A and B are shown apart, each in its own frame.
Chain A
């Protein structure tokens, strides 16, 4: 469902060119569980951002569900992000002044769903991350693991095809980390294509497939 063809992402810093991604060619299947590893600065986040249409490649092609994304404008990309892609981040990115339920509702607010449907779907999503009893709590009243679970609920509430997770356990202790990994693996079993950036070798080895980046190039691509 995802094809990357000679994909490059270069940054100009002063007179220097940083090749964050260099001629990456990659095919990812539907429902695949893919881990991305590599040393710091190897291009993992850059790859994930391009996959999530937050960033655009300098050259090369990215085809998503048969559509070449290079011809899309800002609004079309926003629409794909809204309907097909879920994001989770290391630092949760919850809106502090809104409750857990309201945070989960934001993607639906942006796409104009009515409040009845929003409420229903938000309740479902919160139930799936076992946070029904915390729906009215604000982020500051939740633990790190709980916050990440709210973020996961938010990422799946629009029923996307792909879940992109950039070091989702980076700010969590090992118990919470296990919980979160278990949760997103369940989502993958439910049919979601999962791409997980991690530094944890053990975590990486749990996935169907593991790719390793170095200096913007794929140096290793193996099935587990």
Chain B
């Protein structure tokens, strides 16, 4: 039997039962579509999260108060023993003597009302030093980022986000104006140009001030964390050890801090989201197998419905293999066409979603398209085997006397 004839015969059957064919196509295409859409969401989420990290500077270490014990055996005694001491500006200053450290940016966060000329709004505050600009890779729209501020010097200056500028200053020039923040005053020296989020805060809505001004404003000495930027990647592990050693010494020998490598965090997020995308893809693949089982069921019914036709084909000389090819071809055409439809729908819907949610980058990975097509075809073949076998093994005499 020629390949073209096989396709034609299988196709003629599929066209003959349009409703049945349509249902099976929908089942398969939904499976493939689910794989495309779910992996697009998974990859989009990964892209979004890792993008947040990539916006930051390189070679970053974060010093966070509290010991993050990951080894086992943590009893209540241990818990009590590691109650963290505050991380202070003095701790940050002590890190300056570590070799290979390029920037140190202590970070304090809080929220307080800001006032100008009778207008008031509540703003998130970040207290830090000029190093923060390099650590975060921020750009200034105009002006300078905390000029004259160091770890030990805190002149009353601040920079503000664009939204703070437009709401409090309106058409006035904000630069050089005195902004009232809580019970303090600071002079605006610049506007942050970068749009986006940092530590979960919208940069357009914030006020950034010297770290000591912020600790005084919130009346608590503890830092949220210290960002340390190394000159080189290979020095980071040594710097991490040095940080722990120095802080431990300052905290009466208690190791009550955790030092996180930014690249390690990013890597683990990357891994988590890879696993997530894979998990989503496998869940969606289940629906492909369900579609395969559906194809098998319908084909089994078709075999008994078409008994007399199978008997006739045998009577006029069809070999068992040819009968089985015929049914396999039907199953493969169904699953293959369904898969292609699913791809088209899936990619169309991701494009529509991209238009609807421009901030979120839906990225259906290339492998998802390949894998879903292959899984669809394989399930078509696997689940087509049983009906095809049953058809080819039919006794022609019984089949011929069967229903027509």
**Residues in B neighbouring A106, C-beta threshold 8 A:** 313, 316
Among B24-32, B318-326, B345-353, the stretch that binds chain A is B318-326
Chain A nearest CB, measured from B231 CB (Å): 75
Among A92-100, A142-150, A179-187, A203-211, the stretch that binds chain B is A92-100
Q: In the complex, are the beta carbons of B316 and A98 less than 8 A apart?
A: no
CB of A83 closer than 8 Å to a CB of B: yes
Bound-state Cα–Cα, A169 to B397, Å: 20
Tell me the count of chain B residues lying within 8 A, CB to CB, of chain A: 26
**Residues in A neighbouring B308, C-beta threshold 8 A:** 91, 93
Q: In the complex, are the beta carbons of A82 and B320 less than 8 A apart?
A: no
Interface of chain B residues 11 through 31 with chain A (CB within 8 A): 12-13, 15-16
User: For the complex, would chain B's binding face be called helix, strand, loop or mixed by DSSP majority?
Assistant: helix
Chain A nearest CB, measured from B319 CB (Å): 4
Name the residue on A nearest B316 (C-beta): A107
CB of B84 closer than 8 Å to a CB of A: no
Name the residue on A nearest B320 (C-beta): A74
Interface of chain B residues 300 through 352 with chain A (CB within 8 A): 308-309, 311-322
Interface of chain B residues 267 through 321 with chain A (CB within 8 A): 308-309, 311-321
Chain B nearest CB, measured from A210 CB (Å): 24
CB of B396 closer than 8 Å to a CB of A: yes
CB of B97 closer than 8 Å to a CB of A: no
Q: B12, B13, B311, B318: which contacts A110 (Cβ < 8 A)?
A: B318
Name the residue on B nearest A155 (C-beta): B316
**Residues in B neighbouring A87, C-beta threshold 8 A:** 315-316
Q: In the complex, are the beta carbons of B319 and A54 less than 8 A apart?
A: no
Q: In the complex, are the beta carbons of A89 and B313 less than 8 A apart?
A: no
**Residues in B neighbouring A97, C-beta threshold 8 A:** 12-13, 15-16
Q: In the complex, are the beta carbons of B397 and A49 less than 8 A apart?
A: yes
Bound-state Cα–Cα, A45 to B332, Å: 37
Q: A74, A81, A158: which contacts B315 (Cβ < 8 A)?
A: A81
Given A54-B396, A109-B5, A112-B2, is A78 in contact with B309 using a C-beta cutoff of 8 Å? no
Bound-state Cα–Cα, A78 to B9, Å: 19
CB of B241 closer than 8 Å to a CB of A: no
Chain A nearest CB, measured from B326 CB (Å): 10
CB of B77 closer than 8 Å to a CB of A: no
**Residues in A neighbouring B313, C-beta threshold 8 A:** 106, 110
User: When each residue 96-129 of chain A gets 1 if its CB lies under 8 Å from chain B and 0 otherwise, what string results?
Assistant: 1110000000110111101000000000000000
Chain B nearest CB, measured from A120 CB (Å): 16
CB of B114 closer than 8 Å to a CB of A: no
Q: In the complex, are the beta carbons of B315 and A52 less than 8 A apart?
A: yes
CB of B171 closer than 8 Å to a CB of A: no
Bound-state Cα–Cα, A97 to B306, Å: 12
Name the residue on B nearest A106 (C-beta): B316
Q: In the complex, are the beta carbons of A75 and B317 less than 8 A apart?
A: no
Chain A nearest CB, measured from B224 CB (Å): 74
Name the residue on A nearest B395 (C-beta): A55
User: When each residue 38-62 of chain B gets 1 if its CB lies under 8 Å from chain A and 0 otherwise, what string results?
Assistant: 0000000000000000000000000
**Residues in B neighbouring A93, C-beta threshold 8 A:** 308-309, 311-312, 315, 400, 404
Chain B nearest CB, measured from A200 CB (Å): 21
Bound-state Cα–Cα, A119 to B308, Å: 25
**Residues in A neighbouring B314, C-beta threshold 8 A:** 54, 78, 81
Bound-state Cα–Cα, A107 to B2, Å: 12
CB of A217 closer than 8 Å to a CB of B: no
Given A109-B5, A110-B313, is A89 in contact with B400 using a C-beta cutoff of 8 Å? yes
Bound-state Cα–Cα, A97 to B330, Å: 15
Q: In the complex, are the beta carbons of B320 and A54 less than 8 A apart?
A: no
Bound-state Cα–Cα, A115 to B322, Å: 18
Bound-state Cα–Cα, A95 to B13, Å: 10
CB of A79 closer than 8 Å to a CB of B: yes
Q: In the complex, are the beta carbons of B12 and A78 less than 8 A apart?
A: no
Bound-state Cα–Cα, A112 to B400, Å: 23
CB of A44 closer than 8 Å to a CB of B: no
Q: In the complex, are the beta carbons of B317 and A109 less than 8 A apart?
A: no
Name the residue on B nearest A109 (C-beta): B5
Q: In the complex, are the beta carbons of A75 and B319 less than 8 A apart?
A: yes
**Residues in B neighbouring A98, C-beta threshold 8 A:** 12
Q: A49, A89, A95, A158: which contacts B317 (Cβ < 8 A)?
A: A158
**Residues in A neighbouring B404, C-beta threshold 8 A:** 91, 93
Bound-state Cα–Cα, A95 to B310, Å: 10
Chain A nearest CB, measured from B8 CB (Å): 8
CB of B74 closer than 8 Å to a CB of A: no
**Residues in B neighbouring A114, C-beta threshold 8 A:** 2
Of A78, A83, A112, the most chain B CB neighbours within 10 A belong to A78
Q: In the complex, are the beta carbons of A83 and B5 less than 8 A apart?
A: no
Of B12, B315, B322, B404, the most chain A CB neighbours within 10 A belong to B315
Q: In the complex, are the beta carbons of B16 and A78 less than 8 A apart?
A: no
Q: In the complex, are the beta carbons of A110 and B316 less than 8 A apart?
A: yes
Name the residue on B nearest A164 (C-beta): B315
CB of B199 closer than 8 Å to a CB of A: no
Of A79, A107, A109, the most chain B CB neighbours within 10 A belong to A109
Q: In the complex, are the beta carbons of A110 and B322 less than 8 A apart?
A: yes
Which B residues form the contact surface with A (CB < 8 A)?
1-2, 5, 9, 12-13, 15-16, 308-309, 311-322, 396-397, 400, 404
Can you offer 27 A-B residue contacts whose CB atoms are under 8 A?
A49-B397, A54-B314, A54-B315, A54-B400, A75-B320, A75-B321, A78-B318, A79-B317, A81-B317, A82-B316, A83-B317, A87-B315, A93-B309, A93-B315, A93-B404, A95-B312, A97-B12, A97-B13, A97-B16, A106-B313, A107-B316, A110-B1, A110-B313, A110-B317, A112-B1, A114-B2, A155-B316
Which A residues form the contact surface with B (CB < 8 A)?
49, 52, 54-55, 74-75, 78-79, 81-83, 87, 89, 91, 93, 95-98, 106-107, 109-112, 114, 154-155, 158
